[in-house]
Chains A and B, each alone.
Chain A
Amino acid sequence: MKSNRSVTGGSGMLPGRTLRRASGIAAVCATLSLVSAAAYAAETLSVVTFGGAYENAAKKAYFEPFTAKTGVQFSTESYDGGLAKLQAMEQAKNTTWDLIDLETNDAITACDEGLLKKFDRKSIGNTSDFLPGSISDCAVAAMVWSTVFAYDTSKLKDAPTTISDFFDLKKYPGKRGLRKSPKVAMEWALIADGVAPKDVYKVLGTPAGVDRAFKKLDTIKPNIVWWEAGSQAPQLLADGAVVMTQAYNGRIDDAVHKDKKPFKVVWDAQVYDYEWWGIPTGAKNADTAAKFIVSASQPQSYADLTKYIAYAPPRKDAIPLIEKSRLADLPTAPANFKRPVQIDAQFWADNADSINKRSHASLTQ
């Protein structure tokens, strides 16, 4: 009983003390934040990104130079994509974000639904060197990432060079890693079957085109190993579970540079996509955010990003500013950008459901 009581007493003391200390800290914090809020009243941009390695790279290449130039500070928050939160903030007329890092499908939908401010492309100046479709009505591309296929050079002596090699089981026997989604796989199947990269979505938009893609995929069906998380792809290669695998170019680049793996990317028929900057309709510092987008879409800013992550500039003028050795790792380097396909987010938003079903039906037969 006695020991019981002393325990209760002890634990009773603790919260009180912690509480006092916490309230002291809170007071200090509040004072500090008041001070900083006063100093940078209109000059803190609230940015929301996907976090992780890309956010760190963006901090160094985009945020810090902008702060050095203008004194504007950045506060970052991370999210997992999707527009639900933005929509809720816009409806409540209390938007706390000034700048959002968006995926293509969200950028399109948000623009359609009026959640993003229109962006004046003239403010960037000359935009003729931007890649096609990398500036929309509401958003500007922040970088280009790509889905490619890669192999282990220590295991495959005869290097595959085209997407047809990915589908060639005679020349390159063995398992293939593919993301468990018909996206990209369908595009590749058609290109390997002889469709020109620029016509891929025209062909895929017809039932006969979908049949053709599935027929091609069927030829490697028994040899496919599916992966779901991006990190699984380099793992499958490292384990020797597959001889080649579909992968995100950044993941392979990381494995090569950080883990010193003998992997090599095949850029033929790479399927690239943009990552976007957009400004919420109700953003409080919309003008500053627009200035930031202009600054971040200058050739030098894009070139700086590549130092920290293997994602490419969406404009050609940035290419000469990148170190030659780094250039070879980027999706848009001229040598890599010979037969690219830009993923058609509209097509997939419309057809993902039906093609997914077909792909299940065909794969489980």
Chain B
Amino acid sequence: MSPPPAAPFGGRAQFQRARRKAALQALLLALPLLVFLLATFVAPIAQLLARSVENPEVSSAMPQLAHALQGWNGTGLPDEQAFAALAGGLKQAADSGQLGNVARRLNFYKPEFRSLMMKTSRAVRSQTPPAWKPVLLDLDPRWGDANTWQLLRRAATSPTPDYLLNAVDAKVAQDGSVVSVSADSAIFRSAFSRTIWISATVTLLCLLFGYPVAYLLANLPAKQSNRLMLLVIVPFWTSLLVRTTAWYVLLQPAGVVNSTLLHFGLISHPLPLIFNRTGVLIGMTHILLPYMILAIYSVMKGVSPSYMRAALSLGAHPATAFMRVYVPQTLPGVGAGVFLVFVLALGYYITPALLGGAGDEMISQLIAMQTNEQLNWGLAGALSLYLVVFTAVFYFIFNRLVGIDRLRFG
């Protein structure tokens, strides 16, 4: 790049150059943030989502088995070659320390698959028979079941649709069709609808409580409104965990709320305020309320009072004027608040875990359980994928209906 020569007539080119330079500068300034976001946000999320279709355990630990099963037509029992590949693969996996992973992966398909693999691995390590098929059939009748081998083949095929299906309570049946899992192990569809239902209720409650508060804040004299604002801001700045545990203390059977009500004789038994839906709604509404208030407030602040005055002077009833003149002007704030609160509520984890009961599990809690306890990261990835997709779909629908560009986030 040589320095640009002085161009007496190159006004346009010069302008283009200057614009390119400015764009480049802007990009350079944004580059650290961009790299940071890519490295700490986009890449890990993409990796987690990729896990929802990856299926590396069996194929990497026992490659010959994966290969042998590809040649099998899926009906009846596979031939000696597959049995030998299984025995060899189990030895190899045990030596490379991957046996535990393989066994855990297979157990996701069927309970007791893990102990079958462990048992078989212990048995094959000590022998070298001329043919493996009779030995394994003799060891455990499950090796004589075609279904066991079909599942083994499913586990050795990558990418797999299984996690994505399991995350919506479906699976691939023996004949290859997609069916729902039995009702007593179906948990995810109801968890998704429960998550959406709780989030929608919390959003509505926040709107009901937040709108009047925002109105008050926007219309009081500055001195009073600043003081009131503190009451909104201070909880907003307080840690989520602190606020949740505070509700825990307040709402429990012997807590502040119940003992006060009992003391004044308003109730005779403690109200069930915690470890149920009531507790979750109270906690989440309180925690998310400031987002709604601030979003609406920022728009109300800019609404000129002269429109209302004009409506009133033209003879409108105050209620009519409020509903038809004032409220429509605040809709961008309402939209922003609803969007923020709903999307934040979708991912709630700590609050429902501490204040909710068994029937109030939200999807994030199930994702955490799969990640930390079951170590089924594929399923956790699939559940997260659906959550991300739902949020994106909500965003687009919301954008169509309200228009994200019209929203004002304060």
Residues on A facing B (Cβ under 8 Å)? 83, 87, 90-91, 109, 112-114, 175, 214, 221, 224-226, 228, 239-241, 346, 349-358, 360-365
**B183–A361 touching, CB < 8 Å:** yes
**A87–B97 touching, CB < 8 Å:** yes
Question: Contact check: which of B121, B190, B353, B361 meets A112 at CB < 8 Å?
Answer: B121
**B359–A363 touching, CB < 8 Å:** yes
Question: Contact check: which of A90, A113, A221 meets B100 at CB < 8 Å?
Answer: A113
Question: Contact check: which of A113, A221, A228 meets B358 at CB < 8 Å?
Answer: A221
Task: Determine the chain A residues whose CB is within 8 A of the CB of B387 once the complex forms.
Answer: none
Stretch from B105-113, B213-221, B280-288, B316-324 contacting the other chain: B105-113
* CA–CA, A87 and B96, complex, Å: 9
What is the size category of the interface that chain B forms with chain A? 35 or more
Contact with A along B87-124 (1 / 0, CB 8 A): 00000001001011000000110011111001001100
**Chain B residue with minimal CB distance to A210?**
B184
* CB of A220 to closest CB in B, whole Å: 11
* CA–CA, A84 and B275, complex, Å: 36
Identify 9 residue pairs between A and B in the complex whose beta-carbon atoms are under 8 Å apart, listed by A's number.
A83-B100, A225-B275, A225-B357, A346-B115, A353-B111, A358-B185, A360-B361, A360-B366, A361-B183
Contact flag A239-B254 (CB < 8 Å), given A112-B122, A113-B94, A350-B111: yes
Contact flag A358-B184 (CB < 8 Å), given A226-B358, A350-B114, A350-B115: yes
**Chain B residue with minimal CB distance to A355?**
B111
Task: Determine the chain B residues whose CB is within 8 A of the CB of A221 once the complex forms.
Answer: 358
**A241–B100 touching, CB < 8 Å:** no
Instruction: Classify the interface of chain B: helix, strand, loop or mixed.
Output: helix
* CA–CA, A358 and B358, complex, Å: 13
Task: Determine the chain B residues whose CB is within 8 A of the CB of A361 once the complex forms.
Answer: 183-187
Contact with A along B336-375 (1 / 0, CB 8 A): 0000000000000000010001110100001001000110
Contact with A along B267-308 (1 / 0, CB 8 A): 000000011000000000000000000000000000000000
* CA–CA, A357 and B361, complex, Å: 13
**A112–B97 touching, CB < 8 Å:** no
Contact flag A112-B118 (CB < 8 Å), given A221-B358, A350-B107, A354-B111: yes
Task: Determine the chain B residues whose CB is within 8 A of the CB of A353 once the complex forms.
Answer: 107-108, 111, 374, 376
With A91-B97, A239-B253, A354-B111 given, name 5 new contacts (CB 8 A): A83-B100, A112-B99, A221-B358, A226-B358, A353-B111
Task: Determine the chain B residues whose CB is within 8 A of the CB of A112 once the complex forms.
Answer: 99, 118, 121-122
Whether B252 sits at the interface, judged by CB under 8 Å, is yes
Task: Determine the chain A residues whose CB is within 8 A of the CB of B274 once the complex forms.
Answer: 241
**A364–B185 touching, CB < 8 Å:** no
* CA–CA, A14 and B99, complex, Å: 52
Whether B194 sits at the interface, judged by CB under 8 Å, is yes
Question: Contact check: which of B115, B191, B357, B374 meets A352 at CB < 8 Å?
Answer: B374
**Chain A residue with minimal CB distance to B95?**
A114
**Chain A residue with minimal CB distance to B122?**
A112
